[in-house]
A = this chain, B = another copy of it.
Amino acid sequence: MSSGRENYREDVAGRANVEDTPELLAYYDELEALEAGALWTVANKIEPWEPQSSSVPMIWRYRDLREHVLRSVELVTPEKAGRRVIYLNNPGRREFAAAVGWLYSGLQVMHPGEAASAHRHSASALRFIMEGSGAYTIVDGHKMTLNANDFVLTPNGTWHEHGVEESGSPCIWQDGLDIPLVNTLEANFYEVHPDLRQAVGFAVDDMTKTWGNPGLTPGGGAWDKGYSPLYKYEWERTYEALKRYADATDGSPYDGVMMEYINPVTSGPVMQTIGASMQMLRPGEKTKAHRHTGSYLYQVAKGKGYSIIGGKRLDWQERDIFCVPSWAWHEHANLSDSDDACLFCFNDLPVMRSLGLYREEALADNGGHQPQD
């Protein structure tokens, strides 16, 4: 019987399996008039056996995007555009302007002497610097200088603005935000700074100098915000940490030598909605496949290789960006036998963990490797 109504039946004990009848269809109409419905018609749809992400595995190659990003400088001013950003659209998530899951990402460009106006919002943001010199970010009055592969936070509710010094060169960085998530949770607020510019109230890079020291905290230092006081994580120290850790660990079979960026006060994620990590694939390293809940967006910080994601091989090199959707199998390989490769990743892992929704699984079959399409 074709009724035009949804009815997701499964012939499995414990699952809904009710056939449409004229009586039931009439009943469904009555329920609809009361803004109600019969659960058994949709139960199997809304209680799936396991997640099936609407995002697709995807890579954005820097060689394709870079010229378009640079061209935006000629096309729009920062004043009119707000920020000159080319954002990434996952084919399955276009309606949310999301690169994967509920995460937004874009590439922003600024020329020497330019600055974007200060504002704040409930969404949390990060930057990962791709190229250029002289870039800076100001967060709640703390100014930070930025170089390639530096990772910087502009957390939920902080005033922030970016610019490039007159003495610098054109700069491009990746923005990462939870805008889609905060919007869909109906909790996003936006405010333009009353002066459009912040005053810098502290020594440059003071937060990194104060909070970015191993095993030491500032005497009497107190910090109880929901995000890291270490606003900037410098590449030089991060890379040194990876190399030190590589001396002490066998690494993860799925991720090689992997470290999580943390809030040094809590040892938890850098922000309440966005986590980040940097991992090193040693020369020739090929990892095994696993999968987990949460959405992940990678940028290649160093080296070249490939990842197999959901059975699809994506070859990457420095500055390329690719995603792993929730519950998609994935494994990584470094194609160089002499150099390490480093992958920066930001994700919604803190959301998965805070809400008790994190789950992971190793691929048992085929020596831990996916068959490829």
State the A residues within 8 Å of B (CB). 12-18, 23-24, 27, 30-32, 34-40, 42-43, 46-54, 58, 60, 64-65, 68, 71-72, 75-76, 80-91, 97, 101-102, 104, 106, 117-119, 121-124, 156-157, 179-180, 182-193, 196, 202-203, 205-207, 209-220, 226-228, 230, 233, 237-238, 240-241, 244-245, 247-249, 252, 255, 258-262, 264-267, 271-273, 277-279, 293-295, 325-327, 348, 351-352, 354-359
Q: Is the CB of B97 within 8 A of A42?
A: yes
Q: Which residue of B lies closest to A258 (CB)?
A: B219
Count this chain's copies in the assembly. Answer: 4
Q: Which residue of A101, A124, A205, A220 has the most chain B CB atoms within 10 A of its CB atom? A: A220
- With A16-B80, A214-B241, A260-B217 in contact, is A39–B86 under 8 Å at CB? yes
Q: Decide yes or no: A214 and B264 within 8 Å by CB, A75-B27, A190-B47 being known contacts.
A: yes
Give the chain B neighbours of A64 by CB distance below 8 A: 34
CB-CB under 8 A from A355, the residues of chain B are 185, 272-273, 351, 354
Question: What separation, in Å, do the CA atoms of A60 and B47 have in the docked complex?
Answer: 24
A356 partner, pick from B118, B219, B259, B273, beta carbons under 8 A: B273
B213 lies within 8 A of A245 (CB)? yes
The 7 A-B residue pairs with the shortest CB-CB distance, nearest first, are: A219-B258, A213-B241, A14-B192, A186-B326, A206-B248, A39-B85, A209-B248
Contact B209 A247 (CB under 8 A): yes
A71 CB contacts on chain B under 8 angstroms: 27
Q: How far is the CB of A16 from chain B (nearest CB, A)?
A: 4
- 8 additional A-B pairs beyond A50-B189, A219-B252, beta carbons within 8 Å, are A14-B196, A35-B91, A36-B68, A40-B81, A47-B121, A47-B188, A185-B293, A272-B355
In the bound complex, what is the Cα–Cα distance between A255 and B221 (angstroms)? 13
Contact B179 A46 (CB under 8 A): yes
Query: Complex formed: what's the CA distance from A10 to B87 in Å?
Result: 19
Query: Does the CB pair A75–B24 fall under 8 Å?
Result: yes
28 A-B pairs within 8 Å (CB atoms) are namely A15-B82, A23-B75, A24-B76, A34-B65, A35-B88, A38-B76, A39-B81, A39-B83, A39-B85, A46-B104, A47-B123, A49-B191, A156-B356, A157-B356, A186-B295, A186-B325, A189-B359, A209-B248, A210-B249, A213-B244, A215-B228, A215-B237, A215-B262, A216-B241, A216-B278, A217-B267, A220-B258, A351-B355
Select one of B13, B34, B219 contacting A117, CB under 8 A. Answer: B13
Whose C-beta in chain B lies nearest to the C-beta of A182?
A: B357
Given known pairs A81-B16, A188-B48, the reply for A203 and B267 (CB within 8 Å) is no
Closest residue of chain B to A47, judged by CB?
B190
B85 and A40: CB pair below 8 A? yes
Q: Are B216 and A238 in contact (CB under 8 A)?
A: yes
Which residue on chain B has the smallest CB distance to residue A328?
B186
Q: Is the CB of A187 within 8 A of B293?
A: yes
A101 to B277, CA, bound (A): 31
Residues of B within 8 A of A205 (CB): 248
CA distance A117 to B180 in the complex (A): 37
The residues of B that contact A277 with a CB separation of less than 8 Å are 219
B186 and A106 contact, CB distance less than 8 A:
no
Distance, CA A267 to CA B46, complexed state (A): 31
Closest residue of B by beta carbon distance from A91: B35
- With a CB–CB cut-off of 8 A, which chain B residues contact A43? 82-83, 85
Residue of B nearest to A107 (CB): B36
